[in-house]
Amino acid sequence: MRQQKQVSGALNALRFLGPGLLVTVGFIDPGNWASNVAAGSEFGYQLLWVVTLSTIMLILLQHNAAHLGIVTGNCLAESATQHLPRWVSRPALGSAVLAAVATAFAEILGGAIALQMLFHIPLKFGATLTTLVVAGLLLCNSYQRLEKIIVGFVSLIGLAFLFELTLIDTQWVTAAKGWVTPDLPAGSILIVMSVLGAVVMPHNLFLHSEVIQNRQWNSQGEGAIISHLRFEWLDTLFSMIVGWMINSAMILLAAATFFQQKIKVASLEQAEEMLHPLLGHSGAVAATVFAIALLCAGLSASLTAGMAGGSIFAGLFSRNYDIRKPLSKIGVGITLGVALLAVMFVTNSFTALILSQVLLSIQLPITIVLQIYLTSSRRVMGTHANTAYGKLWLWLVAAIVIALNMILLWKAITG
């Protein structure tokens, strides 16, 4: 009987997997690829700790965002509109829409780069094709269908990097130290900020609360809320660890190949081409797998960026995301359309990808402070408001992000 209950509990927990993996796609996107390849090729294993720190912060923040959706039945954007004065909520959510656009820019550009690698399609045409495919999927699919598609993409990306790791000689002892030992090598602050912005992405916090609130678990009573909070924590923890593994694998690959050969990578196309001679007979296969995984990342992350943009825009008008409704369609259109327009003016795709992640990092404090304020408010959350202990950890995360942004600003000013 006890064994049957354990099996039943495990199967029940599996039913809740999905929202977290949907969010995971956002931080294994092409912007992450550029940031991680730059980190590994320039600094070897030294910046692995940034992925670890970012993932720990992300687990706390994503669980907190999902907490809001489960308890209130509203997403982060709706809650901000309903509980804050317009002079606060409108600029905050407006900056979040811009963050979603910056994210979609990186995803569409990454998809276009992958199409160029695989089929020699011109970058601008590939970006247009990627945008049309993503827009079609968003307009024609429900959450449940999109979850399955995106989970499939995540699985392919994970398998691709597992395969890549079998082809390289990784210094695991050095890597283990890198994961847990903070270090800021000279000239690394921009890359550190880029990796941070690429992992702890503001649009993902809005997306997670939206996907959760869409299920309206709050309407099932207090017992259901408590149960769903417990299972959601498992979903978030599992999904973020998957993301940590894939992001780490990107840095390991770059460190073991490019850094060891003292090659500074200036583009993802260059990274793919260099795998050929560096890995010998396995290079051609590795390069193809690299490009296919990048295409999967670009498509899946573009989907989540479009959903996030639509959700934030609808939230400005106290509406939830529903692709059948005009506000959500307009939000998705703005996110993907402006992002595609920006891609048309790109001259250096690798630098553009990294800078897009830095922009996310700069906007991130606004979203984090907004989220902590709402989830700490008893007026919003009732008895499920953040505890004093929970607020301490969340404000610590906010302080770290703000401090890193101040360092970046100081470096920019002083040169």
This prediction has a pTM of 0.82
Dist. CA 284–CA 272, nearest whole Å: 9
pLDDT confidence of residue 275: 64
How many separate domains does the chain show?
1
Residue 325 DSSP label: S
Dist. CA 127–CA 133, nearest whole Å: 10
pLDDT confidence of residue 362: 79
Count of helices and strands (H, E) across the chain: 18, 0
49 located within any domain: yes
pLDDT confidence of residue 404: 75
pLDDT by position in tens, the chain (length 415): 444 444 344 444 445 555 666 677 666 777 777 788 888 989 999 999 999 988 898 888 888 998 898 888 888 999 999 999 999 999 999 999 999 999 899 889 989 988 998 899 999 999 999 999 999 989 887 666 777 777 787 788 888 878 888 878 889 999 999 999 988 888 888 788 777 766 777 888 898 888 776 655 555 556 666 666 777 778 888 888 888 988 898 899 889 888 888 887 766 766 666 565 555 556 677 778 878 888 888 888 898 899 999 999 999 999 988 888 999 999 999 999 999 999 999 888 777 877 777 777 778 889 999 999 999 999 999 989 999 999 999 999 888 878 877 776 576 556 5
Dist. CA 210–CA 68, nearest whole Å: 9
39 located within any domain: yes
pLDDT confidence of residue 235: 81
Please compute, for residue 235, the number of CA atoms within 13 A of its CA located in the half-sphere on the CB side: 28
pLDDT confidence of residue 162: 82
pLDDT confidence of residue 11: 41
- What range does the domain containing 207 cover? 2-97+141-272+344-414
154 located within any domain: yes
pLDDT confidence of residue 1: 46
- Longest Cα separation, the chain: 67
pLDDT confidence of residue 222: 67
284-311: string of b/e by CB count within 10 Å (b at 16+)?
A: eebbebbbbbbbbbbbbbbbbbbbbbbb
Q: How far is CA 78 from CA 73, 89, 289, in A?
A: 10, 10, 40
104 located within any domain: no
258 located within any domain: yes
Of 316, 303, 396, 364, nearest to 76 by C-alpha is: 316
Dist. CA 114–CA 156, nearest whole Å: 15
CA 71 to chain centre: 23
241 located within any domain: yes
pLDDT confidence of residue 12: 47
- Amino acid code (one letter) for 333: G
85 located within any domain: yes
Long-range pairs for 225-231 at CB < 8 Å and ≥24 separation?
225/70, 225/71, 225/384, 228/16, 228/70, 229/67, 229/70, 229/71, 229/384, 231/12, 231/13, 231/15, 231/16
Residue 51: which residues within 8 A CB-CB, separation 6 or more? 36, 179, 195, 199, 244, 247, 248, 251
290 located within any domain: no
